[in-house]
Structure formats: structure tokens, C-alpha cells
Amino acid sequence: MRILAIETSCDETAMAIIEDVNFRPHIISNVVASQMAVHAESGGVIPNIAARLHTEALPHVLKEVTQNKKLDYDAIAVTAGPGLIGCLLIGMSAAKALALASGKPFFAINHLEGHVYSAWLGEEIPELPALIVIVSGGHTELVLMDRHLHYKHLGHTRDDAAGEAFDKVARLLGLGYPGGPKVAELAKHGKRDAYKFPIGIMEKDSMEFSFSGIKASVAHLISQLPQPLAQHTKADIAASFEHVVAETIARKTLTAMRYYPGIKSVCLVGGVSANTYLRKHLEQAVKTATPEIQYIVPPFEFCTDNAAMIGAAAVYHHLFGKPDDWRNVEVDPNRELV
């Protein structure tokens, strides 16, 4: 089955055609139209502008992903949430129009589930049960996946997500938008141990996250330093901050591994999984604790928002679940992974 997938949860207008090949997703076509340049001018995503840009981009992206109707598909999948409600509505409306016109099966996909299944888009696919580490702009959580489409929530952030903390620290350092990549680039030139920031929620065996304290510590430090900050000082702050975020995620992941020793793979997914330091730091921690375990991170192009991951999730809903009735599906900006 070939599935046309649509993703418009935030500021990427994305479509892909994904095919089920031997019980794993295979990408036929994948297109992403980024709004980053527009939102960089305002220092962040403005929801109503993002929704308008989706409306403008969707027809062009559809034409490109289907190669001007030369590529056909058998079903339609779309992100139903979480995300910005106006942006979600644009993608959902397009998907419902296509379902109405074609009569083809329809799959409403959770955006976080898309990130989960981005781990199935690389050369090596995860063995189950898998520990999924979701790290994005709006979410940071640990999920146990014992079989396809079944998730047990082990821990989540009690306040800021890791990606949100990166963006806030970027603003404190005057780096602009998008914050995460700019902090990561600056951190390459700094010392990881220059400053000691706290790890949140240190209770024994806790799998919960907290990043607001780290952000507050960075803000307090900056307020105590001579202004304007020297470039090497900014680099040291960025590097020390990036290290404590990676160390926090690694410690919580190792706690989950101890609690669930039958785990066969650890998958780092979500937009922040594109952070090279986090990828390597978590891999070292996981492999040191359990050398034989699989450690999987999606290719860089599938870490941030894209439609290929939505199509990948839809493939497994086709294999192990069932289509949705598009007439009864509504977007939910706070949709939970269940």
C-alpha cells in the first residue's frame, strides 16, 4: 500500500508518499517546504502566519510530491495533533478533501507517534521492546514500546521541554531563531565544564524530567556576568548548558533501562535528536551500560518535522490497526500518545 502523508503541525509544510515493503516503510517521495526564513524575522513561529503559509504552500507541495500526478497512492494520512491548532486545521482540511474526493482509506496520526516511527526510516530498524526517548520543542518523555502501536509512558517533563529550554537559552544569549541549532553551533567552541548547571528532579529512580531550573540557572549566571558577554563566555555557557541537558536525558534513560532490563533497543527521536552532542552522549551512556543493545537515531532529515515519519506511522496502522473515519476525526492541539 502507498500512503500519501501530510504534516502541518507547526512551521513545516510537508508531504510524502510512503510504501509498505516487507513490513517496513519505504520512501517513494518526500517534500518539505520550510517557513524558517519567515519566522526568523520575528524570532519565533507566529501561529496565524504559519497557518497562512501552509495554505499557500500545500498545492505546490502536493504537486511536487506526486510528481504532478505521476505518482499515485492508495490511502491518506495526516497529523491530527499535537501542534498549533490553525496549522493542524490546514493539513486536516486538505486530507479530508482528498479522502472525500477519492474515497481512499484515511489515517489520523499523532505527531509524537510520527516521531516514534521516524526510527523505522533508517537502514536499521528497532527491535521490540524498545525504549523511545522523545526529545522535541514541546515534549520530552520516555516511552516503552513493547509492540507496534502500544505505548507505556514512563516519564515526561514537568515543565519546559528540552527543545523549549534550548530556545530560551538561545534568546538569553542573543542568538536568535531557531535557537537549538544556534546553541549547538556555538557550543562547539566552548568548554563543557566551564559552568555547572543543575540536573532537575534527582529523586532516586525518577524518570521524570525538568529543564526550567537549568534555564533559570543560565539566566541567573548571565545576570551576574559583565555585559556585554564575550563570545568565548557565550560559547562556554552554551557548551555547559548543552552538556547538562544531554546528561539529564542520559541519566533518565539509564534509569528506565535498569527498570526494564528486557529492552532490546533504545531510540532517540524528535527534533532535538538532531543535536550531534546529544546523539553521541546518549549513545556512549547506553552502550557503556549495555553494549549489546541497539541504539538507533533517525537520519538527520527525519528528526525534525516531516511527512515521511507520519507516513511511516500510518504504514503500521495499516498493518496492525485500522483506518479512521475522516468524518469523525478532529484536530487536537494537545493530543496525547496512547
- Report the CATH number at residue 133: 3.30.420.40
Same domain, 276 and 322: no
| Tally of domains in the chain | 2
Same domain, 211 and 92: no
Q: Which amino acid appears at position 150 of this protein?
A: H
* Average model confidence (pLDDT) across the chain: 96
333: in domain:
no
Decide if 265 contacts 294 (C-beta within 8 A). yes
pLDDT on residue 203: 84
| Crossing angle (nearest 10°) for helices 276-289 and 179-187 | 70
108: in domain:
yes
Distance of CA 125 to the CA centre of its chain: 18
Across the range 284-312, mean pLDDT stands at 97
pLDDT on residue 56: 97
310: in domain:
yes
Same domain, 105 and 38: yes
* Residues linked to residue 196 through DSSP beta bridges, in sequence order: none
Q: Over pLDDT 90: what percentage of the chain?
A: 95
Same domain, 60 and 112: yes
Same domain, 6 and 86: yes
Same domain, 309 and 166: no
246, pLDDT greater than 90: yes
Q: What pTM was computed for the model?
A: 0.96
Same domain, 135 and 261: yes
Same domain, 159 and 287: yes
338: in domain:
no
237: in domain:
yes
Q: Between β-strands 2-7 and 75-81, what pairing exists: parallel, antiparallel or unpaired? A: parallel
Collapsing DSSP states into helix, strand and coil, what is residue 21? strand
Query: In whole angstroms, what is the distance from residue 101 CA to residue 105 CA?
Result: 11
Nine-digit cell at 305?
A: 518535522
pLDDT bracket for residue 202 (50, 70, 90): confident
Across the range 91-99, mean pLDDT stands at 98
42, pLDDT greater than 90: no
pLDDT on residue 41: 85
| Crossing angle (nearest 10°) for helices 162-172 and 231-259 | 170
Same domain, 139 and 288: yes
Same domain, 243 and 148: yes
Across the range 5-15, mean pLDDT stands at 97
What's the domain range around 61? 2-117+302-328
Q: Give, in order, the Cα–Cα distances in Å from 219 to each of 107, 113, 266.
A: 43, 33, 33
* Residues linked to residue 279 through DSSP beta bridges, in sequence order: none
Q: What are the phi and psi torsion angles at 26 (to 5°)?
A: -125, 130
Same domain, 139 and 113: no
335: in domain:
no
pLDDT on residue 40: 87
pLDDT on residue 148: 98
Read off the pLDDT of residues 250-271 as tens digits, 9 standing for 90 and up. 999 999 999 999 999 999 999 9
Across the range 279-298, mean pLDDT stands at 98
Decide if 27 contacts 326 (C-beta within 8 A). no
Read off the pLDDT of residues 163-192 as tens digits, 9 standing for 90 and up. 999 999 999 999 988 899 999 999 999 999
pLDDT bracket for residue 201 (50, 70, 90): confident
Q: For residue 195, what is the enclosing H or E element? A: none
43, pLDDT greater than 90: no
Read off the pLDDT of residues 139-161 as tens digits, 9 standing for 90 and up. 999 999 999 999 999 999 999 99
Same domain, 169 and 198: yes
227: in domain:
yes
54: in domain:
yes
pLDDT on residue 322: 96
Q: Which long-range contacts (CB under 8 A, 24 or more apart) does 221-226 make?
A: 221/195, 222/172, 222/173
Collapsing DSSP states into helix, strand and coil, what is residue 322? coil
